[in-house]
A and B are shown apart, each in its own frame.
Chain A
Amino acid sequence: MKLPLICPEKECCRGKKECMPGKGLPKIVLVGSPNVGKSSLFNALSGSYTVVSNYPGTSVEVSRGKSRIGDLEYEIIDTPGMYSLLPVSEEERVSQRLLFDEKTFVCLHVVDARNLRRMLSFTLQLLEARLPLILVLNMMDEAEERGIEIDIQRLSLSLGIPVVGTVSSEGKGIEELKASIMKYSHEKLTQEKTTPEIDYGPEVEPYISKIEGLLETVEETGISKRSLALLLLQGDRTALDFVYSPGEVYRHKIEKCEAGKNDFEELQNEQFQKLAETASVKAGVPLSYLFTLKRQEPVNEIVEQVMGVQGKEKEAAKETKNEKKKRETKKVFLAENIDSVLTHPLLGIPVLLLVLYFGLYRFVGVFAAGTLVDLLENRLFGEYINPLVTTWFTSLVPYPALQDLFVGEYGIFTQAVTYAIALILPIVGAFFLVFSIIEDTGYLPRLGLLLDGMFKKIGLSGRAVIPMVLGFGCSTMATMVTRTLETKRERLISTILLALAIPCSAQLGIILSVLSGNPNGLIVWAGVIVLEFAFIGYLAARILPGEAPTFILEMPPLRIPRLSNIAVKTYSRMHWYFLEVLPLFVLASVLIWIGRLTGLFALALKAMEYPTVWIGLPSDAADIFLFGFFRRDFGAAGLYGMHDAGLLTGVQLVVAAVTLTLFMPCIAQFMMTIKERGFKMALAISGFIFPSAFLAGFIVNTLLTALGVKL
């Protein structure tokens, strides 16, 4: 997931389109498969920061930065991972579109050196597209650990482009890469170009030429006619859009004819389709399959020439190297063993529970939300800062209405700022710290593998584990990451579940800490939430139309997290979160203030009292839910306050916690849901959640009371 850049010169654009740090400069675009180190290379080149993780599919947005290389400034663009020029998922389409649209100075195709055989095919595609290209062999250290040797010079010769080996996480090879960018000249290389064009065979070549003939170039652009023709033959949507949309650089020759645009599009669409179908019949297999196989032939040839796995004789000859290798093999061996425990169908579950217990409960719940918050909120702010500020402000501003706005019960300082800094920040920070560690080790894909079977029952694949776990940190962020899921249906189900049943870390932390003195209550709460999650997921999987999801996920090797990366990542996420939450907290304070002045707040509170009393809570608890409209965690913070004051019984506390967890998404998540799923869908999801949260609270209260349970 792309979080806002933290640029050194404070040019941070928070991911907004209109602000581009390096606008107008020559563009360097990073492309490549997921999880090959594009983001860390981006950081190394641009000196700014995007989140680097050890799982595929974290970058869902394009990041832009600026860099000075030699005497020139460049715009550096980091793209979501893509496996080939023909996109399968939405985020791949984002990258593909970018390659179509942007005029690049040079593309850096970043590959994982170990997997050259698998990734070189995309290099050939990029060359076929006539994109100016430098190949970056990243993670050279991991390749060496496995005894893989690559003849970089020879590779460069056979491809006809510069090739540079790097270890981007350690900054190795970055200077060489910069030197190679400085020297880069596309024209010179194309003149000397040595790579022969790939021949896709007599069955399909005529069709490729035929489509190429239908296209005409209006001006110089990113992608070659031949590439476009190949994509059109494979029915690629982006390529079709590109050919048809007015003002694009490629136009159809016949566009000048008299026919209306719609008729024309239909006509041409049919024409492409017909050509593709005939070609596919001739070839006997789907064209994408054929093209890939044909491309793999030269790839295999090149790989045979340039890549070698260290021979045994060689090892014996070099004893020191041999020893080193032994040690490294041992390291690989240990990782293997841990890996087989993590992915074990039986042993994997207790490991997961341990991670949840220590990571979530002990660290986020008890330590951060309990000890740390107590220290910050009650002591530091409650006893020292707030009384001081209140006295100072009251003596300075003699108007009670303004005093109320800033330092009153719901004041901007006494409530919004205090909650944000003393309550929410430590909890969210603790969660992001744990999440970053888990993420960097490569545990999340293993969790996906472990839980795929269970997730299938609720209409999701194991891939959805990533947004779901992230949802425990910030559901808003997680809603954004649902973009990495493959089908619309999966994206919808996960958005619903995130809005409904997954509590964010602030909420979770407070609920855990409020209920930590009440283990039975904690179990009831957790049980109800898990049940609701499973029930709604199961229902959604049954009701929503569409195909069942399939699961395929790359397993990165287990890695020991790098301390600096974790620190920077945690900080960056906290920064994002804080900028997200503080304005909303302040807004909430202002709205409440206006509401209290005009009497609307009392009215809304009165209205909220009905469902509140209906689920067996004191009417005072209504304001917890009203706060919940502004932020889920804000509401949870109110719960914390009531619990502190001893206003709730055990059963009431559990009922309130259940209702609040299932309650409406916060404003930020609601906005994100609109952005990702559309306004209607967001409204429908909220319309469903509001009554169902209270219904669940009602049922829990009725059952517990009827059974005479004391918690």
Chain B
Amino acid sequence: MIAENSHLSLNPSLKTTTLSSMEPKKAGKISHLETKNTGILQKLIAMGILPGMPVTLLRRSPSYLFEVDQTRYAVDREIANHIYVSY
């Protein structure tokens, strides 16, 4: 968990939540990914959803729509719960 710890300790004022409960239209960074479900984890990292990437939530319904760097993704709640962001 090297990445998330160093990130958090550098920015103690930041709020860390899951993507699913992030405030829409706010710019943040992905702090870490939940690593227990390796299937979902592998999908996320393969698609380039990685700690340190800038992230903005655009829409919560009908599905979660968010932007990482220059790309948009749509995910369901289950997956949005696996992505932790700080902003």
Contacts and interface: CB of A to CB of B under 8 A. Distances in A.
Given A115-B69, A461-B76, A555-B74, A83 B46 contact: yes
A448 B62 contact: no
Interface of A: 83-84, 86, 88, 114-115, 117-119, 121, 146, 148, 284-286, 288-289, 292-293, 296, 300, 340, 343, 345, 348, 445, 448-453, 456, 461-462, 550-555, 557
B9 interface: no
A345 B1 contact: no
A550 B79 contact: yes
Q: Is the interface of A mostly helix, strand, loop or mixed?
A: helix
B11 interface: no
Contact of A555 (B35, B42, B46, B73): B73
Given A118-B53, A445-B74, A550-B76, 6 more contacts: A86-B42, A86-B46, A288-B42, A289-B41, A452-B74, A551-B74
B contact face: mostly helix, strand, loop, or mixed? mixed
Interface string B37-61: 0111111111110111100000101
B46 A462 contact: no
Interface of B: 1-3, 33, 35, 38-48, 50-53, 59, 61-63, 65, 68-76, 78-79
User: What are the 9 closest A-B residue pairs judged by CB atoms, nearest first?
Assistant: A118-B48, A555-B72, A83-B46, A449-B74, A551-B76, A114-B70, A292-B45, A345-B62, A345-B61
Given A83-B46, A83-B48, A284-B1, A456 B72 contact: no
20 contacts: A83-B48, A114-B71, A118-B48, A118-B53, A121-B48, A284-B1, A289-B45, A293-B50, A296-B50, A296-B52, A448-B74, A450-B62, A550-B75, A550-B78, A552-B76, A554-B47, A555-B65, A555-B73, A555-B74, A557-B72
Contacts of B50: 292-293, 296
Contacts of A450: 62-63
Contacts of B78: 550-551
Nearest to B46: A83
B3 to A, nearest CB: 6
B63 A286 contact: no
A348 B63 CA distance: 12
Contact of A286 (B35, B46, B71): B35
A552 B74 contact: yes
Among B38, B43, B46, chain A packs the most CB atoms within 10 A around the CB of B46
Nearest to B72: A555
A288 B44 CA distance: 11
A289 B73 CA distance: 20
A288 B35 CA distance: 10
A84 B46 contact: yes
A555 B38 CA distance: 23
Contacts of B2: 293
